[in-house]
Amino acid sequence: MRSKAYKVLVADPPWPFTDKLPGGGRGAAKHYKLLKIPDIVRFLATDVEEKVSEKGAILFLWIVPAMATEALDVVRGWGFTPKSELIWVKTSTESAQAEYLAGRMPTLSFGMGRYVRMSHERCIIATRGKALHLVGDHSTRSVFFAPVGKHSAKPDAFYNLVEKLVPGGPYLELFARRKREGWTTLGDEVG
């Protein structure tokens, strides 16, 4: 019997970057342990598979451009089907969303990148089973603006969007970096 049937999963896997960036804080490997793609795929199957709702679930999987193909392998390996995506436009101020809605272009974050400086992140939305009935707000935009925080931390605006899009949960975050009220969080950094 399933202990808790999660209908919403959020995951920001520790993608296996192989580049060696200079400096004490640049690059994922300097902030947390990285996993190989097969280990990321196995993570759901071995640790949380029995907790995913059999009646339908939605996955929000954060991806990095250099591993877009591998991200799709993870989605499919976890038994989900890609449906859509969210784009987080990274900004320098808290008021960015209001600035954008008022017709002003917010100041974009000057992120890392070898070819272009990344001012956005992508999140695949994927489903398992019949999940459309879980969506409670069909007016949610695919783009949201929010300031950058600590390395790889996702903004509260994202979690608020997920909770609005799929009200009531229950919510499970894999590879979590902090606890969030009303969510089950699994990750090395949350204990």
- The tens digit of pLDDT for each residue in 159-187 reads 999 999 999 989 999 988 889 999 998 87
Q: Which amino acid makes up residue 50? A: E
Distance in angstroms (rounded) separating the CA atoms of residues 174 and 191: 12
Q: Give the model's pLDDT for residue 11.
A: 93
Q: What is the dihedral of CA 145, 94, 103, 107, to 10 degrees?
A: -80
Q: Give the model's pLDDT for residue 191.
A: 64
Q: Which helix (H) or strand (E) holds 41?
A: helix 37-43
Q: Is pTM, for the whole model, over 0.85?
A: no
The backbone torsions φ and ψ at residue 131, rounded to the nearest 5 degrees and listed phi first, read: -120, -10
* In the predicted structure, residue 70 carries a pLDDT above the cut 50: yes
The proportion of the chain whose per-residue pLDDT surpasses 90, expressed as a percent, equals 42
Question: Considering only CA atoms, which of 19, 13, 20 is closest in space to residue 34?
Answer: 13
Give strand pairing partners of 137: none
Q: Give the model's pLDDT for residue 110.
A: 72
By the 10 Å C-beta count (0-12 exposed, 13-18 middle, 19+ buried), 120 is classed as middle
Q: Give the model's pLDDT for residue 106.
A: 73
Which pairing describes strands 120-128 and 57-63: parallel, antiparallel, or unpaired? Answer: antiparallel
Q: Which amino acid makes up residue 23? A: G
- The tens digit of pLDDT for each residue in 15-58 reads 866 555 555 554 554 445 767 878 888 876 655 677 788 889 99
Check residues 103 and 60 and name the one with the higher pLDDT: 60
N- to C-terminal Cα distance for the chain?
A: 25
Distance in angstroms (rounded) separating the CA atoms of residues 191 and 179: 9
Max avg pLDDT among 25-29, 51-55, 82-86, 138-142: 82-86
Domain ranges of the chain: 8-83+120-136+153-190
Return the HEC string of 67-125: HHHHHHHHHHHCCCEEEEEEEEEEECCCCHHHHHHCCCCCCECCCCCCCCCCCEEEEEE
Distance in angstroms (rounded) separating the CA atoms of residues 38 and 6: 23
